[in-house]
Amino acid sequence: MSGKQSRHREFSVFQIIKYSIPASLSSLVGPLASVVDTSLIGHLGSHELAALSLCVSVIESFGWLLIFLVHGPTGNISFYLGQKKYEMVGKTIKVSLFSALSTGILASIFLFFTINQIWDLYGADSQLRSLATDYMNIRLLALPLSILLTSITGILRGLDLIVRSLVLSSITTILNFIISFILIYHFKMGLAGAGLGTLISLIIGVVLGFGQFFIGERARLFKLHSLNFFEVKIWKNFSKDSISLLGRSAFLVSSFFIATIVATRLGHIQLATHQIVLQLWLFSSYFIDGIAITGNIQVALFLGEGNQQKSIHYIKKTLVMSLGIGLFFMLGYFLFKDLLVGIFTTDRDIAILFSNIFLPVCLFQFPNALAFVTDGIVFGLRKFHLLALHMGVGFVMLFLPFTYLGYSSSSLTLVWVAMGMLNLFRAVSGLWIIRNYFIVSGSGTRKI
pLDDT along the chain (448 residues), means of 10: 45 69 70 71 83 83 74 79 83 86 93 92 86 90 91 86 87 91 92 93 93 73 65 73 83 88 88 84 80 81 80 85 89 86 80 86 91 89 87 95 94 94 95 79 40
> Which residues are CB-contacts of 390 (< 8 A; sequence separation ≥ 6)?
425, 426, 429, 430, 433
Cα angle value 240/242/247 (rounded, 5°)? 105
220 contacts 194 by C-beta, under 8 angstroms: no
pLDDT on residue 441: 33
Packing angle of the helix pair 268-305, 32-41 (nearest 10 deg): 160
The pLDDT tens digits for 370-392 are: 998 999 899 888 788 888 899 99
What is the CB neighbour count within 10 angstroms for residue 55?
27
pTM comes to: 0.73
d(CA 165, CA 155) in angstroms, rounded, equals 9
d(CA 70, CA 244) in angstroms, rounded, equals 13
Find, among 276, 357, 267, the residue nearest to 39 by Cα. Answer: 276
> Which residues are CB-contacts of 119 (< 8 A; sequence separation ≥ 6)?
54, 128, 129, 132
286 contacts 64 by C-beta, under 8 angstroms: no
**φ/ψ (deg, to 5) at 439:** -110, 120
Cα angle value 17/330/338 (rounded, 5°)? 120
> How far apart, in Å, are the Cα atoms of 184 and each of 48, 191, 371, 429?
12, 7, 37, 45
Domain extents in the chain: 10-447
184 contacts 190 by C-beta, under 8 angstroms: yes
In this structure, what DSSP letter does residue 8 have?
Answer: G
Find, among 381, 421, 424, 386, the residue nearest to 403 by Cα. Answer: 421
